[in-house]
Structure 1
Amino acid sequence: MAVTVDPKTQKLNIRFRVNGYKKQFYLASGLNNLVKNRIIVESRWEEIQRDIALGRFDSTLKSYKFGNYQNAVVQTEKLSLDNLWDKFLTFQAQHLERSTLESDYKQITKIIVELSSQLFEDAPTIRDWLLAKYSYHTTHKALAAFSRCCKWGIDSRLIDFNPFEKIQIPSPKNSSIENEVKAYTLEQRDLIITAFESHAKFSYYSSLIKFLFWTGCRLGEAFALTWGDISRQCTRISITKAYSTSGCYEVQ
């Protein structure tokens, strides 16, 4: 439903339902069905959706009324970086795979916990602390993540400015090279397999190495496999989960 037009008055309205509430919600805009007005009403509907997702939906609809709309902005000093990051991760978890959260955000979460300050006004100090403690590449990655988090916070009306936007450091010169993935040649593959097969101490890894090369399976996916993932005819393997330090989780 969402944005509708009253057939009699040709005014734009918002109709919707929310899980946990039996009734249908109705919000009259009082605006005529014009393109510019529809943009305003759709924007209000997006704000309502954000509040629903963040668990702060106002079921009285008072804070969403048109003409007298006041959506209070949480002042920056009342919300620290770690608090905002937690809310950001909660939101991201609704549409990202857990494997993505683990790979992209786990390191940043650890860094935030170790920060010398969690205050937004200390953003320059946080940058300098990161440069002193971590590599340039890690610092660049962390500051970029902080900035994305703050941009989300602004869109969600949790903060009113992004203190990390103007203190970003240039991208590492070799970042494109570092991120480039190069596959082994067939000759290199065979040499690696042979080296494992003939090694006096680590030869028992050779079967695993062959399996990884021949299937393209990732380490986490291989370590999570069980006999239940193999067909009765032993002709097919179903890779539906991966293993991390926190345990197995579904990826498909």
Structure 2
Amino acid sequence: MYSKSKDNKVSIIAHGKSLKLVLPRAWAKDGKQVKVSLGLKDNEDGWREAELIAQQIERDYAQDRLKPLNEYKYDKDKEQKPKLSLIPSNDVQLIELWDKYVNFRANNKQVAETTVILNYQRVSGHIQKNPYKLLSQSHEMFTFLVENNSLKTAKRIITQWNACCHWALTMKYISKNPFEGLAATIKEPKNKKSIEEQIEDTDFIDIDPFTIDEMRKILEAFKNHHKYHHYYSLVKFFFLTGCRTSEAVGLRWRHINNDCSMVTFQEAVVCASGKLITKRLKNQDFRKFPCNKELQNLLLSIKPNIIGEDDRIFKSLTGKTIRADVFNGFVWRGCENKGATYVGIVQQLAEDGAIDHYRPQYQTRHTFITLALEKGMEVKDIARLVGNSPEIIYKHYAGSRLESITVPDLNI
């Protein structure tokens, strides 16, 4: 039934509330994938036992003594459970533990796919670049990390290494965590914002809304463009809703009711390492947006007669999901690519003096919020529409309008 293969890694997957092993397809002569139910629950104890069984199967396969697969199932009725012998910490490479840790968190859906691709791959890169590999060399690893990176980066990476080894200690893969407490020894300069604050503020850097006249000129330029008029409805949607770019490109027709009077934002599409990923909204599971007549008419005008359940509302020129980086780089701003120059519509308007100066596409969001405030909408209502808290609106938008506030006479 089985054939020899260099690919001898047995995978563990969560199926419902239990765990299964997945044998490599290359092991089977017929190429079929074999899965083995273990009778183990999807928890830390279960994963630890599953790792033991997977390792035993790999060893038996390598030594040509693989038993019938049902003999590897965990027997809860045995008086004595198989014990996991602790691996001496100085014999373990950090990258091995890190791979197990990431696999465990991803399979248990404790982290989003974007976290694995963007953040965890970055941490893995720092491990691989470090000339010191073993946990017994933790001091040397730490020193190299600090000396070759900013303090902020070093602290963020060592925090992840510590979390990994804390998990490995809990799982009894190692006998001690050599990185415990090291992050606290890295003192960043005072008055530096936390990582969370920096991430939050990227949504509000240089709030510089377009004027009504500039909005009209941008829309007219898109509508009349010989190639990119296709994106006119998307740009108008940005201005009319103040939604994030990822939320607009993630919209499907099933997120709009029949008469196009209500939009339900439920998905966001982001690009991570060249791969499009659909994820939940930034701060909530979903968000309702009631359409005014202008927005309703826009959606009705582009609504197809025949709609597939998963059809995107806004698509690329080739009918695929829009990549925000491509839209912003080639269409909105313009760029140089492979020796060719692509003139962006908004950049060209700025150079021609049609608008005061160039602003990136995320300013459409700031424009909607600013105009809604100027029209007298309550902050709490605006916050609900755009998926922010009232505190954020006050902090980044309403606070900048102090010069327009008139203090009433109190007649005392």
| Pairwise TM-score range, normalised by the shorter structure | 0.5 to 0.7
- Which residue of 81, 85, 93 corresponds with 1:80? 93
Q: Which runs of 5+ in 1 are unaligned?
A: 1-15, 26-44
> In structure 1, the residue corresponding to 2:209 is in which secondary structure?
helix
CA drift at 1:141: 0.5
Name 1:128's counterpart in structure 2.
Answer: 143
Deviations 1:127-173 (A, max 9, x none): 22112221100000001110010000011111111111143323533
Partner of residue 279, structure 2:
251
Counterpart of 2:276 in structure 1: which amino acid?
Answer: C
TM-score by length of 1: 0.63
The TM-score with structure 2 as length reference comes to: 0.41
Q: Which residue of 2 aligns with 1:170?
A: 186
Q: Distance in 1 between matches of 2:158 and 2:38?
A: 44
- Give the Cα–Cα distance (whole angstroms) in 1 for the partners of residues 164 and 269 of structure 2: 27
Q: Distance in 1 between matches of 2:89 and 2:236?
A: 51
1:53-68 correspondence runs (5 A):
54=51, 56=53, 59=73, 61=75, 65-66=79-80
Q: Is residue 123 of structure 2 the alignment partner of residue 105 of structure 1?
A: no
Offset from partner CA, 1:104-145 (integer Å, 9 cap, x none): 423212212211211112112112211222110000000111
CA contact (8 A) 1:241 1:248 kept: no
The corresponding residue for 1:36 is none
Q: Indicate the residue corresponding to 1:160 in structure 2.
A: 175
Q: Which residue of 1 aligns with 2:267?
A: 240
Aligned CA-pair RMSD: 4.2
2:38 and 2:73 in contact (8 A); partners too: no
**Match 1:193 to one of 210, 228, 251:** 210
Against the structure 1 CA distance between its residues 210 and 133, is the aligned structure 2 distance closer, same or farther, given a 3 Å change threshold? farther
Distance verdict in 2 for CA 1:210–1:136, change over 3 Å: farther
Structure 2 Cα separation of the partners of residues 120 and 176 of structure 1: 31
- Percent of residue pairs bearing the same amino acid type: 18
For the 8 Å contact 1:54–1:91, the answer to whether it is kept is: no
Q: Please tell me whether the aligned partners of residues 124 and 167 of structure 1 are also in contact (alpha carbons under 8 angstroms).
A: no
Distance in 1 (CA, whole Å) between partners of 2:45 and 2:170 is 12
Which residue identity lines up with residue 154 of structure 1 in the other structure?
Answer: L
1:89 aligns with 2:102: yes
Conserved? CA contact 1:193–1:210, under 8 Å: no
- Equivalent-residue separation in structure 2 for 1:120 and 1:240 (angstroms): 41
Distance 1:129 1:151 in 2: 21
Which residue type is aligned with residue 179 of structure 2?
F
Give, as a single letter, the amino acid of the residue that structure 2 aligns with 1:151.
H
> One-letter code of the match for 1:127?
F
1:121 & 1:106 partners in 2: Cα distance? 23
CA 1:90–1:211: 2 relative to 1, 3 Å: same
1:176 Cα deviation from its structure 2 partner: 3.8
For residues 125 and 156 of structure 1, do their structure 2 counterparts lie closer, same or farther at Cα, with a shift above 3 Å needed? same
Question: Could you tell me how far 1:51 is from its partner in structure 2?
Answer: 2.1
Query: In structure 1, what residue type is equivalent to 2:116?
Result: L
Moved more, 227-236 or 85-94: 227-236
Deviation at 1:47, TM superposition (A): 6.0
Count of aligned pairs: 210
Aligned partner (choices 211, 223, 227) of residue 238 of structure 2? 211
* Structure 1 residue 238, shift from structure 2 partner: 4.5
1:10-54 CA distance string (max 9 Å, x none): xxxxxx9765667979xxxxxxxxxxxxxxxxxxx9664232564
Mapped pair 1:51 → 2:78: no
Q: Does the 8 A contact of 1:224 with 1:248 survive in 2? A: no
The CA deviation string for residues 61-91 of structure 1, in whole angstroms up to 9 with x for no partner, is 59x745x873311222332001100000000
User: 1:199/1:104 Cα in 2 relative to 1: closer, same or farther (>3 Å)?
Assistant: farther
Q: Report the Cα distance in structure 1 between the residues aligned to 2:265 and 2:148, rounded to whole angstroms.
A: 42
1 CA distance for matches of 2:116 and 2:240?
Answer: 26
CA contact (8 A) 2:91 2:134 kept: no
Corresponding residue number in structure 2 for 1:179: 196
